[in-house]
Structure 1
């Protein structure tokens, strides 16, 4: 009798699966996120314009990479020491530190402002608009969560022409703790009125996906050129070379 019940249950599950749209069958129903939370810098926006400018300014092919590492490092110093300066302030300080490390003179304030303003004038990666369009049509709610300041992210998204895709543009300046602090991800979930387990962070940084998973969110890693996952962290639920690839895995 138990065998017959098991057989009938299997038939019922198969029939239910057959009736589902293919987009929903692409992933387990229990894991389907209700909200997609996007990192902005490098994930959505192409930083090469800023990279070229900083490399040319400091006459070194690795200047941008060093500057960006300092920017991230000292944002975490602020977070762990209970201090807070917005991303622009830390970016300016990182330019001074870069100049000092290279034995060069610190740039004038006006020049630093010119360089840092470029972060608000970046285009989206080519895959981003088609992917966001498909995700929007598939019914996903979408928002951003960035280490950029609130005013900066508004300029970034407006310049890139992505505003119509997102219901909220969230910044860490609300909690004054930089990602990957768990409070930043939990703040985003509270603002969006969604449980962490129903939220998928999509980011091109292994430290970001690691932080999201530790905070109870799902995560997707966009393997942009030069990016890598943190081997000691829990693996993200999805990995792909572009946002479009993540969208396909989500059934969009």
Structure 2
């Protein structure tokens, strides 16, 4: 069950990674090229998220990369393109670990760290992928921990994932903030009793049937300023 909202200040901040911290344009362009279709990335990423939820609801867990591989096959079918060879899929999925940080991210992380917040990366990817991502983007130094739903075998936005992540980081959920660029992630965190900060990355929107985020802005810097104030 969601915890009651704390009246004290939140000092733990959980961060989504893909699209929130990392710019996925490199992978987007590679998928468009591989399938010769401008809709390829959004088709694939949507399937990846959709079938991670299917695994959660049906209690049949596969890690994010495995679902991503299957989603590439599904994308080919839906776009009526030839299926990619195993080597091609491996190369595309490897790009998930070679994504740069959005330009605003280092400054925003530095601001929050300097203000005394404990920063924890929290992802649907495996811990191994998370570590590679943060190192490649040169932002790993800002994080005290990296947490993965792989430990729970249950994907965000299931409320239990946020509750467990907060407690793994040593904080009650009501004293934690989740920052993400996805409406579904914000909705999940809020329904779990956390505060939430939404970064309105291009093409992203909030879920209008969910509670409003505690903080929101166009960049991490804007959201960080609101949190610190």
Give the aligned length.
224
Structure 1 regions of 5+ residues with no counterpart?
1-28
Offset at residue 31 of structure 1 (A): 5.3
**Runs of 4 or more consecutive aligned structure 1 residues displaced over 3 Å after TM superposition:** none
Q: TM-score, normalised by structure 2?
A: 0.96
Structure with the greater alpha carbon radius of gyration = 1
Q: Does 1:137 align with 2:110?
A: no
Q: 1:59 aligns with which of 17, 20, 36?
A: 36
Alignment of 1:6-25 (within 5 A): none
What is the CA deviation profile of residues 4-39 of structure 1, one whole-angstrom value per residue up to 9, with x for unaligned ones? Answer: xxxxxxxxxxxxxxxxxxxxxxxxx93531101000
Where does residue 78 of structure 1 map in the other structure? 55
Distance 1:200 1:179 in 2: 15
Cα distance in structure 2, aligned partners of 1:237 and 1:144 = 19
From 122, 130, 138, the counterpart of 2:99: 122
The superposition leaves residues 127-167 of structure 1 with CA deviations (integer Å, 9 ceiling, x where unpaired) of 00011111111111110111111111010001111111111
Q: Which structure's residues are more often helix, by fraction?
A: 1
> Residue 10 of structure 2 aligns with which residue?
33
1:163 alignment counterpart: 140
The gaps in structure 2 that reach 5 residues or longer are 1-5
TM-score by length of structure 1 reads 0.87
Q: Counterpart of 2:164?
A: 187
Show CA shifts across 1:202-243 (max 9, x none).
000000010001111110110000000000001110010011
What is the Cα-based RMSD across aligned positions, in Å? 1.1
